[in-house]
Amino acid sequence: MTTEPILELRHVSHTFSVRRGLFGRRALRAVDDVSVCLAQGDVLGVVGESGCGKTTLLRLMLGLLRPSHGDVLLGGVPVAKQDRRSLASKIQLIFQDPYSSLNPRRTVGAIVEQPLHIHRVGDPAQRKQRVRELFDLVGLPARMFDSHPGQLSGGQRQRVVIARALALKPRIIVCDEPTSALDVSVQAQILNLLLDLRQELDLSYVFVSHNLAVVEHVATRIAVMYLGRIVETGLSTDVFAEPRHPYTRVLLNSVLTPAPRAGIPDIRLRGSPPDPMERIDGCRFHPRCPEAVAVCAAQDPAMVEVRGVNVACHLAR
């Protein structure tokens, strides 16, 4: 029996018009023909260099941007046909920086209660009770109800952000680098909290991070992006154990190791990242690929399945 994905992108592209010079404008295709889906209870990890289109992809998932081409489906219904209140009750975002995403003038209790107030959930007493339940769920003591964000630690502020995201009981949580602004000692606590909440509330996550160790720890599936396109996707265990795309291998080989005298990894990557507004014939990774052959410069590779993993590469085997 097949399970209907709760979030699905079908051949989605999004193009920005960017000013070049005094009068000129150029097209920047930030997301290019992306197809990916999220099943109930899964954690989709999205990885790639800065500028590869991860943030634009998240904004398309959240309905904050309309795709130039293709469809974004949430619960089988196009996001474009759902109103803002309906979307907010199904999908929520956990921000990268917990301090800048919280109003410093409001108490954290009022911050967590705000979605309930906007959506007219219950009366004031019921909303206060729901906030107390959320505080307990994310591990915040009730005495912090009247505290302001500036009085909390970074980890506590991120717990407030998580509690606010859970207020409307969404099915999907989008995590945009949720631990990168935290101390290393706190990162593991927040990741374990997210995993516990996934089990307890049957949540699904889209998890974006530059930290491959974090993604490997939390994700059930991986999507690797390069210049707006997904070049490899599959089960996390398969992709990390045997990456099929050269770019995925480069990403994994670039991870620093604490081993003594290991030095800087030699990733054999050629050149520098190309201008995303310049057209590249063939595979868009071939100018930097250490394994590129003649066909890579002439023909754009199609996505093919190789031992359970989908990969866009002429050399995949």
Q: What is the mean pLDDT of the chain?
A: 89
Above 60 in pLDDT, residue 227? yes
Digit-coded pLDDT (tens) for 155-165:
999 999 999 99
* DSSP E strand boundaries for 227-287: 229-235
Q: Answer yes or no: CATH 1.10.150.120 is held by domain 7-90+170-312.
A: no
* pLDDT tops 70 at residue 264: no
- Report CA-CA distances (Å) from 45 to 3, 65, 197, 221: 20, 20, 17, 6
pLDDT at 1 over 80: no
- Over residues 50-91, the pLDDT tens digits come to 888 899 999 999 999 999 999 999 999 999 899 888 899 999
> Could you tell me the CA-to-CA distances from 27 to 106, 218, 278, 304 in Å, in that order?
41, 35, 9, 28
Long-range contacts of 121-126 (CB under 8 A, 24+ apart): 121/168
The domain ranges of the chain are 7-90+170-312
| 46 closest CA partner among 202, 205, 179 | 205
**20 pLDDT more than 80:** no
pLDDT in tens, 185-219: 888 899 999 999 999 999 999 999 888 888 988 99
